[in-house]
Structure 1
């Protein structure tokens, strides 16, 4: 095609339909293929009537064409649809359409939309984040000026005449107007032809190529996860449909960044398989496994609305088709119920269990430093000695807990001889020789003594014990009756290697692996004991004969384009520093409609004189943003990466009697519901916000020395672990926000280095540049 002409009515249709925002939707993918000239347009797309021939394409809507405004894309000059990947092309096209509507209605332009002073040109930078020279689109705002002025149509056309990564002298360059002249000459005939087509006849020679299903985009806006099962399927993207409808007989990895709908897809997949089995009068038992009790409660609450067939309310021992939702700890606990009493579990909730584990390990470190460290010190590597001497017991505890779970219990099975042969973890303790491992093992033994004194078992003990009882002839005979035909694992990135090893034992058939699992590796802090997500199917018992299926989501539903771009910059800077850090937002697309974008605010950094004024003003800013985004109080979150700041927030709310509900564990859905009923704001440490979403998020104390946390140590491995963790936690916190993200810091400290990458790319306002 030489050109594409789109009238203002068609632009309104295309930008308001969520299905045209991402190539993950079939409609969006087919639209971009048509724009690239690979397929032809349909005669109709909703209210849009199309005409296409060898010259070009016209997207028209009903009405007098002389009173309309037009965007003309010169495909020959601009090469707009041939330079980028399909996802980036669609994003650029949508941003171009939105610029047109703002320009014609004299609305305020954003930082990526620039009118060139002293010229008739405009330049658009449509892609949200790039380390390279940004992609740009050049627009002539007054093409055919004299000719159109005579026809009283001056100002009715915008011409895209150039695109690419290279800059130019926009004030002096001249656009070739040959193609737009052809467009203007044809408009009268085109509108007569499309008016006839709009009456119901389909244009000859126009095969079905662009979205045959017109979604009610306004109905999609603002919908929550709580909708009946069958109402979801018309609203799912092509990758989501592929995952939901895929075979249950093989392992299936579902990748996606925060806010891409992974958990919802897992729920719909389980319900689809159960519904299919019931229609076929087959026996089918499904299991959904979560990492924490809070997430389990959240999924159970969603199922109360989505599962209209009531599968989750059935008993698998009595009903032939049933769904069970469990945490891994409760699943193993139920299985081991005859061997371990309730009081012997550290905690059935994996998240709470690991917090208690850290407390026990901190006590073990104190004892080991006093009794074991003096004899080990002469033989330890310089790096580990510096780490032990410079870090407090509280700071050492998570590193040693990581070593115990992933290596000593996970790979070595409590055996020191096996542990010595295990390669060291990528992040954590500075282990480099046998003496180092000997000291770590001595702390582990002190920790085990703590458990034995209290007569308790931690999560790793429970899982390893469960594996021991599951990997027996007795269970292999029973599993045909008690096993599951489908297992869905949510947030696999939160499980360590011990926990992942147990799942394949719960399938109904030996050698069959109907396990689907969701992942966002950017949310996993440190090395989980497995270094390659591609090998996870082996942890689930893959025999290497059945290739696991892989689906990756790129459409981000939760966050605004500005928040998605900021989150991507955090991940990109982390990926630059750490080879093991994943940027799961690379190539992502926001599917926000203009109505949602109008509620969205720019990502902003604010500085204050001290901690007290910063905490006090956080609540004022929260109320202001709540009004600007038209949000309820419970949809506003105040969070922090700092334990010290979290304590100050609590003290302030008590002193001023603020109406605030605090999160007490990760994904604390019940506390958010409590805040909704009470009309409270929500506050909580960043470690508790995963799995939740809010309209407005304030992250307090993101300044130098606190994010990442810098102690007195000069140990590089400890600093690396802190930096790795800080990138992860900042991404998790930022990606909870839908419409507004505000970041606060103290002026004397200066902004955290983690914000500089975003500031250099104009993705956050207010960061002072040095």
Structure 2
């Protein structure tokens, strides 16, 4: 007889917000590995609940997970079980909240109430699928039946599932034995939920937020009428996203009272931010109201710009799969693909073009192919050229456009500087190879999707449908991460093209490590009478860390960054903490052998690896740490935005990542390593662009720390940069 693990709805929400159980739990199901109470019967069935439910757990709604002798999701590797669990949690959420969508890249198959999805990204080599039944009965809100083969077609070969009575009988047996087995005085011992809620902007209702939680400036921003565009700026942790969400929900309340049907779009760059916003909305107004205002065809659309493009174009109906609908992940994947293309190109056709290129261009191309210093930033510049020039101008589809591109020597300052005609020919060659790789992968790149969306927004079809699908007001979070082409789409999404655009945007240009927003101040100046709000109260890091970041601002003018590096007069509202320390190591090995065991010890003392992160500023070194074997069991690697969901809510392994991959997250203690001069500034002869990127990378990494910040650099990589010495002394 099949046994089940029952996870209450509140426990499902807990794991969605704070992270899944550690990978070891899925095989052993030991209560000691969980940050929540659980009880397991002798026959194997178990139940997991939250401390708040305690004596009333028998009244809770549950998701059921079929168990085998190998625990949950038999047939998958431990890390893949965590990914599958996270995806099932999303299915459970969608089962109770109609505003929650299933990502198209999960390639779902449906048959009546049954749905199967990919258990993890195909890019990771996993082909298995998870079977889930969305049928609700009694206190059951969905059943996960585990892993099925990739080739199971739910239309032709319907899997046999146990009857509902068997599942309910199993639940009844667990609940019968539960009262005498509920642990008393349960202490999760992992982290402070109140503090974590606060850092995520979760907890209070909308009324409480509006009446007593907002700062004076946030309140002014929320109350400012939507008669013109508004920009809110501020450092990480100043509450930009919270203020945007409160303003959106307040406007919906005012519209309802006035019987207005204003339609809002809340667009972001990353799916992680979408999920944070959705969690905020649910905690502020509840599931029922969220479904009412944010369901299909409703007054509020929450999603990435790329998911909006995908939905509007109906791309899924044509069987076209986008590389990603998450901006951060998509750009990472495009970077890896271009890196492979450049490496192959340099080994083959490069010899025919090399002689006609400048020495500087040759050096960058060959550095990118060999993964040497300077090559990574060059590849991101090339991707920006693809996204903002070659794709939107249709260069790949027109011989005339290609001729014009090659012959046009004058180029705006924000574009990749290509002085020789052969350098522009190289761009066309690389773009053609990149497109070929995408075709062979049977996928469409993010930039191709955005380019197609731009053409659609200039079509007769959009003109006829914008009254239904367009927006009266567009909220844009993470504006600093949208490139030129993506920003140009925003005003085209208006319902009424004759009215003045109303765009409410939040940005922190210092987090723009890749400088995708370079040269776009003119776009904002084109929004008539835009009102600006600067948030200067910070709630995520101590006064000492705040002072360090302000000292960096004071150093920035020496690099002639001008308005590209705004100076915030921020003030921390957290209690005091230790002054950030700086250490200099002779080489990579000595840093590795010192920092990693120290971070591990700190994670164990804090009883939560989630509280400690080691963030490397050097991509090449980061890869070396991942491959090294000595300290491999001490950390949880986060190599992309999707890996964030794999960070468990309890455990004693610290997080190893790079600042860009954990943007938006906070840790009690951060070891920011490889902040060496050669890494951040790439030597003495580089231009302002690279200096700006170095400052931004440091700013992003340092602002991930809430209480304790350690910095370290390597002597053989240039030592400690001057701006860090200046900031620490200050």
TM-score by length of 1: 0.62
Matches of 2:316 and 2:538, distance apart in 1:
45
Distance 1:690 1:284 in 2: 32
- What displacement does 1:443 show? 1.8
Using the alignment, how far apart are the partners of 2:287 and 2:430 within structure 1?
Answer: 51
The answer for the alignment partner of 1:646 in structure 2 is 622
CA contact (8 A) 1:489 1:515 kept: yes
Q: CA deviation at 1:439?
A: 2.4
1:706 equivalent in structure 2: 679
User: Is 2:670 the counterpart of 1:697?
Assistant: yes
Partner of 1:179: none
CA distance in 2, matches of 1:280, 1:399: 48
- Partner of 1:201 in structure 2? none
CA distance, structure 2, for counterparts of residue 487 and residue 738 of structure 1 = 31
Change in Cα spacing, 1:237 to 1:631, as seen in structure 2 (3 Å) is farther
- CA change 1:274–1:661 in 2 (3 A) is farther
- CA shift at 1:312, angstroms? 3.5
Aligned to 1:519: 507
Displacement of 1:441 in angstroms is: 2.3
- Alignment partner, residue 353 of structure 1: 330
CA displacement, residues 46-86 of structure 1 (integer Å, 9 cap, x when unaligned): xxxxxxxxxxxxxxxxxxxxxxxxxxxxxxxxxxxxxxxxx
Q: C-alpha displacement at 1:531, in angstroms? A: 0.7
> 1:475: Cα distance to partner?
1.9
Match of 1:232 among 206, 209, 230: 209
Equivalent residue for 1:295, pick from 257, 261, 273: 273
Change (3 A) 1:305 1:631: farther
Q: Deviations over 1:94-144 (max 9, x none)?
A: xxxxxxxxxxxxxxxxxxxxxxxxxxxxxxxxxxxxxxxxxxxxxxxxxxx
Task: Check the 8 A contact 2:409/2:419 in 1, yes or no.
Answer: no
On the 8 A contact 1:664/1:684 being kept in 2, the answer is yes
Residue 404 of structure 1 corresponds to which residue in structure 2? 386
Cα pair distance change 1:612/1:657, threshold 3 Å = same
Report how far residue 437 of structure 1 moved.
2.0
Structure 1 stretch displaced more, 509-518 or 725-734: 509-518
User: What CA distance in whole angstroms lies between the structure 2 residues aligned with 1:278 and 1:736?
Assistant: 38
Does structure 2 conserve the Cα–Cα contact (< 8 Å) formed by 1:675 and 1:682? Answer: no
1:510 and 2:478 correspond:
no
- Per the alignment, residue 439 of structure 2 pairs with 452
Where 1:502 maps in the other structure, the secondary structure is helix
Distance 1:310 1:730, change over 3 A: farther
1:416 matched to 2:392? The reply is no
- The answer as to whether partners of 1:574 and 1:581 remain within 8 angstroms in 2 is no
Match of 2:693 in 1: 725
Q: CA deviation at 1:263?
A: 1.1
Q: Does the 8 Å CA contact 2:680/2:693 hold for their aligned counterparts?
A: no
Q: SS of 1:622's equivalent?
A: helix
Q: Partner residue of 2:640?
A: 665
User: In the aligned structure 2, how far is the partner of 1:576 from the partner of 1:444?
Assistant: 37
Q: Please report how far the alpha carbon of residue 573 of structure 1 lies from its aligned counterpart in structure 2 after TM superposition.
A: 3.6
Report matched runs for 1:377-388 at 5 Å: 377-388=354-365
Residue of structure 2 in register with 1:376 after alignment: 353
**1:526/1:605 Cα in 2 relative to 1: closer, same or farther (>3 Å)?**
same
Aligned to 1:392: 369
Partners in 1 of 2:196 and 2:462 — Cα distance? 48
Counterparts in 2 of 1:211-610, with a 5 A limit?
Answer: 223-224=198-199, 225-226=201-202, 227-233=204-210, 234-308=212-286, 310-314=288-292, 322-338=299-315, 341=318, 343-392=320-369, 394=371, 395=375, 396-410=378-392, 415-416=401-402, 419=405, 421=408, 424=411, 426=413, 429-512=416-499, 513-528=501-516, 530-533=518-521, 535-536=523-524, 538=526, 542=527, 546-579=528-561, 582-592=564-574, 596-597=575-576, 600-610=577-587
Cα distance change on mapping 1:638 and 1:510 into 2, 3 Å: same
Q: What SS does structure 1 have at the residue aligned with 2:267?
A: strand
Q: Structure 1 619/313 Cα, relative in aligned 2: closer, same or farther at 3 Å?
A: farther
- The equivalent residue for 1:740 is 708
1-structure distance, mates of 2:716, 2:370: 29
* CA distance in 2 between partners of 1:229 and 1:283 (Å): 21
Q: Secondary structure at the match of 2:713?
A: strand
Contact in 1 for aligned 2:482/2:517 (Cα 8 Å): no
- What TM-score, normalized to structure 2? 0.65
Match of 1:611 among 588, 609, 616: 588
The answer to whether the 8 A contact 1:612-1:648 is kept is: no
8 Å CA contact 1:384–1:430 kept in 2: the answer is no
Residues 537/289 of structure 1: CA separation in 2 closer, same or farther (3 Å cut): farther
Shift, 1:485, TM fit? 2.9
How far residue 500 of structure 1 moved from its aligned partner, in angstroms, is 1.2
Structure 2 contact 666–705 (Cα < 8 Å) conserved: yes
Distance 1:655 1:428, change over 3 A: farther
Moved more, 335-344 or 230-239: 335-344
Structure 1 residue 495 displacement after superposition: 0.9
Superposed displacement of residue 730, structure 1: 0.9
Moved over 6 A (4+): 219-222
Checking the alignment, whether the CA contact within 8 Å between 1:312 and 1:324 is kept in structure 2 is no
C-alpha change, 1:730 and 1:667, in structure 2 (3 Å) is: farther
Gaps of 5+ in 2: 1-193
Task: Give how far 1:315 is off.
Answer: 6.3
C-alpha displacement of 1:627: 9.0
Separation in 2 of the partners of 1:392 and 1:578? 31
How far, CA to CA, are the matches of 2:642 and 2:554 in structure 1? 25
- The separation in 1 between residues aligned to 2:414 and 2:493, in whole angstroms, is 31
- 2:609 aligned residue: 633
Q: Which residue of 1 aligns with 2:90?
A: none
Counterparts in 2 of 1:740 and 1:467: CA distance versus 1, 3 Å = same
Residue-by-residue CA offset, 1:173-211 (whole Å, 9 max, x unaligned): xxxxxxxxxxxxxxxxxxxxxxxxxxxxxxxxxxxxxxx
Contact 1:666 1:689 in 2 (8 A): yes
Partner of 1:69: none
- In structure 2, the CA distance between the partners of 1:338 and 1:442, relative to structure 1 (3 Å rule), is closer
Structure 1 CA distance for aligned equivalents of residues 555 and 642 of structure 2: 26
For 1:752, the equivalent position in structure 2 comes to 720
Q: Does 691-700 or 419-428 show the bigger shift? A: 419-428
C-alpha spacing 1:437/1:687, structure 2 compared with 1 (3 Å): same
CA–CA separation in structure 2 for the residues paired with 1:451 and 1:465: 15
Q: Tell me which structure has the larger Cα radius of gyration.
A: 1
Per-residue CA deviation, residues 652-688 of structure 1 (Å, 9 max, x unaligned), is: 6x645645333243486534xx432445422212220
Partner Cα separation in structure 2 for residue 747 and residue 299 of structure 1: 42
CA distance, structure 1, for counterparts of residue 295 and residue 283 of structure 2: 24
Per-residue CA deviations over 1:570-589 (Å, capped at 9, x if unaligned) read: 34444432536733344222
Rounded to whole Å, the distance in 2 between the matches of 1:580 and 1:376 is 37
1:761 Cα deviation (Å)?
5.1
In structure 2, the residue corresponding to 1:363 is in which secondary structure? helix
Deviations 1:534-589, CA, capped at 9 Å, x for gaps: 53364xxx4xxx42222122222222222122223334444432536733344222
Number of residue pairs matched by the alignment: 523
| TM-superposed deviation, 1:758 | 3.6
